[in-house]
Each structure stands twice: as structure tokens, then as C-alpha cells.
Amino acid sequence: MKPINVGLLGIGTVGGGTFSVLRRNGEEIARRAGRPIRISIVADRNPDRAHRLTAGTCRVTDDAFAVVGDPEVDIVVELIGGYGVARELVLQAIANGKHVVTANKALLAKHGNEIFAAARDKGVMVAFEAAVAGGIPIIKALREGLTANRIEWIAGIINGTTNFILSEMRDKGLSFAAVLQEAQRLGYAEADPTFDVEGVDAAHKLSIMSAIAFGNAMNFDKAHIEGISQLDAADIRYAEQLGYRIKLLGITKRTAEGVELRVHPTLIPAKRLIANVEGAMNAVLVKGDAVGATLYYGKGAGAEPTASAVIADLVDVTRMHTADPEHRVPHLAFQPDAMVDLAILPISAVVSSYYLRLRVEDRPGVLADVTRILADSGISIVAMIQREPGEGEEQTDIIMLTHKTREREVDTAIAGIESLAAVRGRIIRLRLEELL
């Protein structure tokens, strides 16, 4: 049978992995897809490298637009990243009637609504399993495996760099800055790690999963995003004493008031499986009303794990290549005319439990003042640690865990507590999720 011809945009880490896995497992992949899948042309800014990697097995160019306009290409695989030229290339490929496979979570989070609408108009597919959690098939699970369920919430460790840093901070008691430097040396963190450590990368991925889970539009611009760069090693130690671990989580929940869409450091009970995901690994916990909680774990990045997801998309597109567009799996799981416009809640409206750390003067009456202010805001305490001050110390730490309350009430209480003369510096506030 005639092969499906693929145009590959970018043969860097993931592109090289895709080329390698497709060549190594080509026969097995063809048996699953029903016909051979071959990369017929590669576009890369470094054509010499592309020639070396492909060893004369396909055409090579430095003009990506030539690939999306090539009449022989059936599927365009976009692996160049970013959302400038990548957007232009994807939209042009769609306009030319080509299916698209992409690993570009930033592109989809920012421009997914536009891209999916264009693909529907042209009757082509946009597949993006590799855009979220690398080799973990979480998009297929949400779009197809859990279709019977009303998804209640998703909580995911979806950035390996931050999970590696937090694991090392906990294991070795080191500061964020020290572990970041080590992560950069080992290649887990970029020279400019901002997108990772400030939570932006996780928010891109969370926005995609949230849209699929709830049939909503992409809402990355409304996500609440906090990273880990300000996290203190002391809070990791105190959390451990209280039976919790701190992870950077992407959380999206459906509530009666709207959808929560938030990324931030989160305390999780240490007995939860997801709390024990260490190093650069990823994990996504999905709660459905019928199936309950399901956990998806694996490598969230890397050449071949991500290539695995890219090629799975290539196989899906190949299988459905000639199918009536009306009978394909919708891009965001729900039929286009059944999509909804759910409000994204501001962080002030979110209900959660909280970890609070206060630095206070070691004198009588301070704790009573603090608990009075919390009570005035309707906030009750579940657990507390008061560190014994060392010899000669005049200040100490008080750590509290609260029952569930609305964030705006916590804001009010924190403002009141910080105004007390006995309280030194700002109060550290972290959210806590039981994930039941």
C-alpha cells in the first residue's frame, strides 16, 4: 500500500527521536497503521545536521514553508516550538489540506482555538499527544478512554524540571538556587529556566487538558500561575513533619461556579501515589465520576518518550486519513457545536486548605492574637507546629494547616496577621490538596 508521506519540521531532540524510532520500528508501526509511514522531507535551520541524521533517506531543506506547501506531503509534524513562525506554518499546512501533528503546547495553549477552527473548516486533523506529559498518553485517555465520565478534576505533575528540583530540595535539604544550578549542569533545566520554574510550561499543558476535560475553550490567559523560585527549603521540611510533600501541581476543577485553572506549589499527603513521583518524572491524576481516580505516570520529556507520542499521533492520523471528518474523534473530545463557555474562576474564589508559616516574636499572647484573626475570617486550624526557639533566639516559626476556606478569606486574614507588631516579615502561604 502507498506510504503516508510525512514532512518533519525540526530535527532537534524530539525530531531526531521521531526519525530514529520510526526507522527502527517502522515495520511494527506499519502493521498497526495499516500502511507504511515514512518521513519524505525534513526542514531544519541546520541542513548539514539534518543530512547527517537522515543519511540520505529523505529530502532535506532549510525552508519550512516549502514542506507545508509540498504536494507529496500528507502529514506535517511541527517540532520547532514557539508560537510565532510555528503558528504560521501550522495554519498554512491546514490551509493546504494537510493534517498536522505537533508537540507544541505553547502554540496550542495560545492559539489552539484558532487552529482547531481552521482544521475543522478544512476537514483535517490536528493531533497533539506529545504536547502534554511527553510519552504519557494522557490526551488519548482524556479524549477517548474516559469518555463515559464526567471529569471532576485533574491534578498533574507536568513539568519534570520543577519536580527534579523539588525532589532534590527535599532529599538534600538544599536551597532552590543550589538545586537549580545542579539541574542546569545535568541538563534538566535550560540556561534560562523561567518558563519551567515559574510555572508557565505547566500552565500551557494544564490549559490543554482542562479544555478536553470540560469541553471548554483554551483559557491559558486566565490561568493562575505561581512557580517554585520563591519556595524555601524550610517549608519543604515543615511539610514533611506534618506528613505532606510539596509538588508543583497543575490543577483544574469543575465547580458550580466555574472552572478552576491554577498552577502552584501544593502540599499533598505523603501517602498519595502522586506525592511519591520523584526526579524528572511526570504524573497526572484524573478523577471521573464513574471510574474514580486514575493515575498516569511516566517520562514527561526526552527524545524517544516524546517521539513515542508523536508517532502514536501519526498512526492515528494514518488510520483516519480517509475517514469522513464528521466521524473522527473531535480535537477537544466534545463535538464542536457542544462546546461550552464555562467561566474561569479567579484565584480569590478558589476553595482550598492552606499551609501558613509565620515568623513571630517569642512572647505570650501572640498565638492567641493570630487565632483570633483567623477565627474572625471563619478559618479553623487542623494542625499546628510551633518551633522551639534556640538559645538566645527571640523569634520562632509557627506553622498552621487550615480547613478548607475561600482564598479571599485567607487574604484578609493574612493582611490582619501581618499587621500585628509581633509578626516579622511576610506570611508564607501554600495551598493544600487532599486529592481524594
Are residue 190 and residue 206 in the same domain, yes or no? yes
Mean per-residue pLDDT, 135-154: 97
> What's the pLDDT band for 141 if we cut at 50, 70, 90?
very high
Cα-to-chain-centroid distance, residue 284: 9
Mean local confidence (pLDDT), 296-309:
95
Strand 126-127 with 99-102, pairing: parallel
Count of other CB atoms within 10 angstroms of residue 210: 31
Looking at per-residue pLDDT, the higher value among 388 and 176 belongs to 176
Query: Could you tell me the residue range of the domain that residue 112 belongs to?
Result: 4-135+303-338
C-alpha cell, 175 = 536551597
Query: Is residue 420 included in any domain, yes or no?
Result: yes
CA pseudo-torsion sign 53, 54, 55, 60: negative
pLDDT tens sequence across 237-256: 999 999 999 999 999 999 99
Nearest CA to 315 out of 81, 18, 58 is that of 18
Q: Is residue 253 part of a domain?
A: yes
Q: Are residues 19 and 80 in the same domain?
A: yes
Q: What is the pLDDT of residue 324?
A: 76
For residues 199 and 329, membership in a common domain is answered with no
According to the model, what pLDDT value does residue 388 have? 82
Give the residues across from 247 on adjacent strands: 266
Same domain, 211 and 268: yes
Count of domains for the chain: 3
| pLDDT computed for residue 387 by the predictor | 84
Same domain? 286 vs 157: yes
- Asked if 64 and 9 count as a contact pair (C-beta separation under 8 A), the reply is yes
For the chain, percent of residues with pLDDT exceeding 70? 100
Average pLDDT over residues 76-91: 96
In a domain, 343, yes or no: no
Q: Per the structure block, which three cell numbers stand in for 401?
A: 494547616
Same domain, yes or no: 109 and 72: yes
Q: What is the mean pLDDT of the chain?
A: 95
Of the CA atoms within 13 Å of residue 210, those in its CB half-sphere come to 35
Q: List the 59-61 sheet strands across, edge first.
A: 59-61, 37-43, 4-9, 75-78, 99-102, 126-127
State the virtual CA torsion across 303, 304, 309, 311 in degrees, nearest 10: 110
Those residues with Cβ within 8 angstroms of residue 52's Cβ, 6 or more apart along the chain or in another chain = none
Predicted local distance difference test score (pLDDT) of residue 326? 79
| CATH code of 68's domain | 3.40.50.720
Residue 389 pLDDT exceeds 90: no
Mean pLDDT of the 145-168 span = 97
- For residue 323, the model assigns a pLDDT of 73
Kindly state whether residue 344 falls inside one of the protein's structural domains. no
**pLDDT tens digit sequence for 311-324:** 999 999 999 887 77
For residue 431, what pLDDT is reported? 98
Residues 180 and 293 in one domain: yes
Question: How many residues belong to the chain?
Answer: 436
Is there a domain that residue 69 lies in?
yes
Q: What is the pLDDT of residues 330-386, one digit of tens each?
A: 898 888 888 899 999 999 999 999 999 999 998 889 999 999 999 999 999 999 998
Average pLDDT of the segment spanning 394-418: 96
- pLDDT, average across residues 152-157: 98
The least confident of 79-88, 165-174, 308-317, 330-339 is 330-339
| 192 and 221 co-located in one domain | yes
The pLDDT assigned to 393 comes to: 81
For residue 129, pLDDT beyond 80: yes
Domain-embedded: residue 346: no
Instruction: Tell me what pLDDT residue 235 has.
Output: 97
In a domain, 345, yes or no: no
Same domain, 115 and 86: yes
Non-local (6+) Cβ contacts of 31 within 8 A are none
Higher pLDDT, 8 or 1: 8
Active centre residues (catalytic):
205
pLDDT of residue 161: 96
- Specify the range with the lowest mean pLDDT, choosing from 294-303, 324-333, 415-424: 324-333
Same domain, 71 and 200: no
- Quickly tell me which residue has 543519511 as its cell: 55
Give the mean pLDDT of 76-86. Answer: 95
**269 inside domain:** yes
CATH number of the domain enclosing 148: 3.30.360.10
Examine the pLDDT at 65 and tell me if it is beyond 80.
yes
* Cβ(282)–Cβ(291) below 8 Å: no
User: Which of 284, 313, 338 is a domain's end point?
Assistant: 338
Give percent above pLDDT 90 in the chain.
90
pLDDT greater than 80 at residue 258: yes
In the prediction, which pLDDT does 419 show?
96
271 Cβ partners below 8 Å, 6+ apart? Answer: 243
Residues 152 and 294 in one domain: yes
**Which triple of cell numbers denotes residue 377?**
475570617
Based on the domain organization, do 156 and 49 belong to the same domain?
A: no
